[in-house]
A and B are shown apart, each in its own frame.
Chain A
Amino acid sequence: MSAPLIEMRGITKSFGAVKANEAVDLSVAPGEILGLLGENGAGKTTLMNVLFGAYAPDAGEILVEGRPVTINSSADALAAGIGMVHQHFHLAPRLSVLENLLIGIPGKSGRIDRAGGLARLAEIGRQHGLTLDPDLPVAALSVGEQQRLEIVKALFRGARLLILDEPTAVLAPTEVDGLFAALRSMAAQGLGIIFISHKLNEVRALTHRCVVLRHGRVAGRVDDPANTTSSEMARLMCGHEIVPPARGPSTPGAAVLTLDGISTSRHSGMALRDVSLFVRAGEILGIAGVSGNGQRALAEVISGVAAPDAGRMTIAGKKVEQFSPRAVQALGLGRIPEDRMTTGLVTNLPLADSMVLPRIGTEAFSRKGLLKPDAIRAFAEAQIKAYDIRCPGPMTRAGALSGGNLQKALLARELAFDPQVLIVSQPTRGLDIGAARFIHEKFLDMRAKGCGIIVIGEDLEELLMLCDRIAVMYEGRIAGTLDSADATIARLGLLMTGAGQTEEAA
């Protein structure tokens, strides 16, 4: 193998008492895709931020092509040929794709070199299949396209090493394939790539070599990911064996949620067209489908956020007369939103506030318009303990918690009130194996207690493991419903593309 493109030696970085990185060694050769694995909080982002110049390391050195360098800013990193695609994108939404690309790039005699930019954009698009419309404003791009723009931006600035921090967390499965093709094409041209993920199947499919971090230290290295089992890697990540929870047989009871001919029209995304489905007590219904086929509208109707134009819905046998979050909640519905940060929590307020938010008007937390601060605090403290939510206390800013802990907090706030029906979207998106495992167990516990659960998801393996039945959405309709005994990834995949939707309509 050729000399390493980048080498990090003995990198240590602490935040107060937290050692985010400790004596980490890592190197990437030209043409190599290195996987950086680890649970949430293992220190992956911190390590890459050190490499990209956002943090100065407390100890250790960085070598680019064998020469030691000091990287104090992203400008230094870019000058050294290091590009990074962050978990949260850094784009100007009102500017066009081309303008975003040219920000900070000096043109000829102070003028912007539009023609040159267009040519390079087209060339990069051709080489790696990363095509983008140069004139579209960034606000009009999908998340996948914004990510593509971030990658193109890095290449545009001459990156020879590309860091991608959990790039697949925001992508639909189909988009992941496109990303992987582009990354392989870049590696074939001699670029080094650092790919961060905690999805083991992705890491095994894509990377040439892996470094596994645990509690800031290197827990192990994997030289042949394709031929290493997922459970072996999971053990390196967590330090112990992870066995998926077993879903026992169920004896579903009466229907706790029914939708009958629900249609919507006014909607930002795909509308619902004549959707009928039911969930019984003690069963888990999966909603599969390529994202954008009406899942969001379905979740909004069931959560009471949007009212349908036609059709009826019942919760626990009672017809929903008024579609509002409060009304459906009063009937016994619990909801865990897809987007924890925007529709679930209030990141700038104490965690306790988010935990009581949906029920602040109930006797549990207030009386005659006056809050019960002690009850609120006690509730939050009890849930923090019961769900092992890692945080300094109920008054911590919610935004300071990691994704897994936030998801636990949301789960706790709904489950504490024994909902009859629970609707969840993408329940484990962005969570590591340990946290995902915990969430799955809770769902199965609720199922055993007779709760009816709807899981909207894109991860088919997860749905197959959790669900008793799986309905597939296609263009706003239910294309078909399969019993999990009959469901396979292939059959679900077929329904997801719209094929064969007539034969198995529910």
Chain B
Amino acid sequence: MFRLEARTSTPAWFNLALPLLAIAATLILCSGLIALAGARVVEAYGVMFSASLGDSYAITETLVRATPMIFTGLAVAVAFRAKFWNIGAEGQLLAGAVASCAVGAIPMPGPLAMLLMAVAGAAAGAAVALVPATLRVKFKVDDVVSSLLLNSVIFYALMALIEGPWKDTFSGYPISPPIEDSANFPVLMEGTRLHVGVLAALVAAPLIWFLIARTTLGFRIRVTGENPEAARYGGINVERVLLSTALLSGGLAGLAGVGEVGGVHFQVMSDISPGYGYSGIVVAMLARLNPLGVVPAAIFLAAVMTGAEAMSRATGVPAFLSDVIQGTALLAMLVALLFTAYRIRRVGVAR
């Protein structure tokens, strides 16, 4: 017989071991599905790996895909630290994309355009995140529900925009007019799509880590998340901390949209995000809400996504497997987190 027993402390190596364990469990669990789809498991995973991390071009593609998830992962990690349950990174990303696209369409010098796109995108994302945070602070509305539902509102607003005023009159497709060429983000490596936004994401992670670990705002976010009552009694304005967290979180999610517009698509269309906002939740959980962990977690998911497409072409396993792997990884991580609080003990059988 086995039993869960409460732990008093968690060893430090768990921070690394748990995500790795969760990923291993995910790959093992999903191998059953691959086999079911009639492919050889080792071959399928092999194709997945070489297509996503096998050569330098594949690596750049994976990094490009990881970039929006680094931003949304950071957005979710920051929010969840304060226990502001922001499930709305998807909507905030879309808002950031729309705003930066609008700015990028105005002719101006490149560097200025990039800066203003980033500012506008972050501001739009922050404004969207402020809605569920304000509803919670002022009226005690559940932030999970309101931030989640807002995603649909933003998505259909975007659709209305690109089916209406922004519709491409020439082709008739529901896509926005492209941004100015001068506003396209510079590419870091000739012949790849590795744009400046990738670098920005890699720099943002340690910055956000520093903010959480080393600033008074970060301290207040951590304390508010862990025990709002003690925070209030300790002189922290809990409502203000929640609103600041929402601005920060929404801003980061907005930047994910900016990167997609400025560095990848150069315009807005309905499928600009294949759920990067939701993937951010998986990324943040795999990273155990540590901003530094967000980078490898996002790269893992990006590798799964790019790899799954190649695997699908090579072996006929549907590319939907990538979604299954994501979902399984989240569940596996949630189960793994149980072991930070509990250990399994074998006990004798009762007589």
Contact = CB atoms under 8 A, between A and B. Distances in A.
A76 interface: yes
B9 to A, nearest CB: 6
Contact of B230 (A55, A346, A366, A370): A346
A127 interface: no
- Interface range on chain A: under 10, 10 to 19, 20 to 34, or 35 or more? 35 or more
Contact of B234 (A69, A70, A325): A325
B351 interface: yes
Interface in B1-57: 1, 3, 5, 8-9
A366 B216 contact: yes
A345 B350 contact: no
Contacts of A337: 233
A370 B215 contact: yes
Interface string A310-346: 0000000000000011100100000101000011111
A55 B220 CA distance: 38
A371 B215 CA distance: 5
Interface in A337-362: 337, 342-349, 353-354, 357-358, 360-361
Interface stretch (B103-111, B140-148, B221-229, B270-278): B221-229
Contacts of A397: 9
Nearest to A54: B5
B348 A360 contact: no
Given A324-B235, A329-B235, A346-B230, A353 B351 contact: no
Contacts of A361: 216, 235
A165 B319 CA distance: 57
A373 B216 CA distance: 11
A73 B3 contact: yes
Contact of B214 (A70, A76, A373): A373
B235 A325 contact: yes
A303 interface: yes
Interface string B229-260: 11111111000000000000000000000000
B220 A360 contact: yes
B203 interface: no
B99 to A, nearest CB: 28
A344 B214 contact: no
Contacts of A353: 219, 222-223
A354 B234 CA distance: 9
Nearest to B219: A360
A73 B350 contact: yes
Given A371-B219, A400-B8, A343 B235 contact: no
A345 B216 contact: no
Residue among B230, B236, B349 with the highest chain A CB neighbour number at 10 A: B230
B216 A303 contact: no
A73 B1 CA distance: 11
A326 B232 CA distance: 10
Contacts, number: 90
Given A337-B233, A343-B233, A349-B223, A72 B216 contact: no
Residue among B8, B223, B227, B351 with the highest chain A CB neighbour number at 10 A: B227
Contact of A370 (B216, B226, B235, B349): B216
A71 B232 CA distance: 44
A371 B227 CA distance: 20
Nearest to A345: B230
A465 interface: no
Contact of B1 (A72, A348, A349): A72
A73 B5 CA distance: 11
A215 B8 CA distance: 19
B217 interface: yes
B237 to A, nearest CB: 8
A357 B230 contact: yes
A69 B215 CA distance: 56
B351 A70 contact: yes
A305 interface: yes
A342 B230 contact: yes
A166 to B, nearest CB: 18
Contact of B216 (A335, A347, A358, A360): A360
Contacts of B232: 305, 325, 343
B179 to A, nearest CB: 35
B350 A371 contact: no
B215 A369 contact: yes
Given A303-B233, A329-B235, A342-B229, A69 B351 contact: yes
Nearest to A76: B350
Contacts of A23: none
Contacts of A305: 232-233
Contacts of A344: 230, 233
A192 B309 CA distance: 69
Contacts of B234: 325, 357-358, 360
Contact of B235 (A326, A345, A354): A326
Contacts of B5: 55
Contacts of A347: 226-227
Nearest to A69: B351
A294 B160 CA distance: 57
B130 to A, nearest CB: 21
A353 B226 CA distance: 11
A70 B348 contact: yes
Given A346-B223, A360-B220, A369-B216, A354 B233 contact: no
A343 to B, nearest CB: 5
B190 to A, nearest CB: 40
Interface in A348-407: 348-349, 353-354, 357-358, 360-361, 366, 369-371, 373, 397, 400
A394 to B, nearest CB: 15
A305 B229 CA distance: 10
Contacts of A346: 222-223, 226-227, 230-231
A174 B5 CA distance: 36
B226 to A, nearest CB: 5
A397 B5 CA distance: 18
A129 B110 CA distance: 82
A340 to B, nearest CB: 9
A397 B11 CA distance: 12
B9 A354 contact: no
A124 interface: no
Contacts of B1: 72
A358 B236 CA distance: 8
A71 B351 CA distance: 9
A397 B340 CA distance: 13
Residue among B1, B8, B217 with the highest chain A CB neighbour number at 10 A: B8
Contacts of A345: 227, 230
Contacts of A70: 348, 350-351
A366 B231 CA distance: 17
Interface string B337-351: 000000001011111
A348 to B, nearest CB: 5
A56 interface: yes
Interface in A421-468: none
Interface of B: 1, 3, 5, 8-9, 214-220, 222-223, 226-227, 229-236, 345, 347-351
7 contacts: A56-B348, A72-B350, A325-B235, A346-B222, A357-B234, A357-B236, A370-B214
Closest 3 CB pairs of A and B: A326-B235, A325-B235, A357-B234
Given A70-B351, A72-B348, A357-B236, 12 more contacts: A72-B347, A72-B350, A325-B235, A345-B227, A346-B226, A346-B227, A347-B227, A349-B222, A349-B223, A354-B230, A357-B231, A400-B9
